[in-house]
Amino acid sequence: MGELCIENLQKTYSVKDGWNRTKELSVFRDISFTVRDGEFVSVIGTSGCGKSTLLSIAGGLAQPSGGRILVDGRAISGPGLDRGIVFQEFALFPWLTVLGNVAFGLRSKGLPRRQREEIAARYVKLVGLSGFEHYHPNRLSGGMRQRVALARALAIEPAALLMDEPFGALDAQTREAMQNALSDIWAKTRNTILFITHDIREAIYLSDRVMVLAGRPASVTFELEVNLPRPRSRFDPLFQTFESQLEAAIGHKPMMAAE
């Protein structure tokens, strides 16, 4: 099971203005949606609309100002093994090998070493890094490092996987290869995924549904069901239509009457 339910979420930061007076910055409000068991949902929106804040709250790393997030019906109160997180920065331990990095998270599950390594090896294979188990991160490319981060998050077998711009630091070619890899992996694991990106095409390629955050304070202003068959082609004519709809919803360009 893995259902992530976001209920009436709000976030307000206290910030100082130019005269050193404290004022309240309302980042987003009234955000409610559910990522169903086995569903891939992306959140897109312009810079500063609160995407990373939303993910941090879902990860239990930040507190909401209102509302709550439930995983399989239980309200979260902090980080937990029921959620795996992958950030843009790879956040790997440089002194541990690929296998060591992936096995590390399993310590908190209280598993014996041998079992940790068995599970880690399985996930290293799943992300396509067989043969690199004993490499250290400094000998891996950016894409390979992000595969390790993905394997580490998957290995704890979380109810939900939270991904914050995971391919944002990669060059365009590697980014596309990683989108393909994630799509293939997800086809096998069917994890519940909440994915943050500012890349519209990436969201369409990967997601079952795309939520658009817009406005100040931001709220979900548009929701798109990406009913393209999988495995997907970036050349599908509908891809272009969805792209135009999402661009218009974000506010990049006006929607054409025919779209």
**Chain residues in the site for ligand ATP (CB under 6 A):** 13, 15, 25, 27, 45, 47-53, 198
Report in angstroms how near the CB of residue 206 gets to ligand ATP at its nearest.
Answer: 17
CB nearer to ligand ATP: give 2 or 50.
50
Using the CB atoms, write b or e for 12-47: b if 16+ within 10 Å.
eeeeeeeeeeeeeeebbbebebebeeebbbbbbbee
**Cα 151 to the center of its chain, rounded Å:** 14
- Listed in order, strand segments (DSSP E) in 1-144 are 4-16, 22-35, 40-45, 66-71, 74-75, 83-86
CB nearer to ligand ATP: give 58 or 149.
58
Q: Give which of 242, 221, 224 is closest to 233, Cα–Cα.
A: 242
Report in angstroms how near the CB of residue 213 gets to ligand ATP at its nearest.
Answer: 7
CB nearer to ligand ATP: give 121 or 213.
213
Report in angstroms how near the CB of residue 25 gets to ligand ATP at its nearest.
Answer: 6
Say how far apart CA 15 and CA 23 lie, in whole Å: 5
Is 99 within 8 Å of 38 (Cβ atoms)? Answer: no
Report in angstroms how near the CB of residue 5 gets to ligand ATP at its nearest.
Answer: 20
3-state class of 49 per DSSP?
coil
Report in angstroms how near the CB of residue 117 gets to ligand ATP at its nearest.
Answer: 36
CB nearer to ligand ATP: give 14 or 138.
14
CB nearer to ligand ATP: give 49 or 150.
49
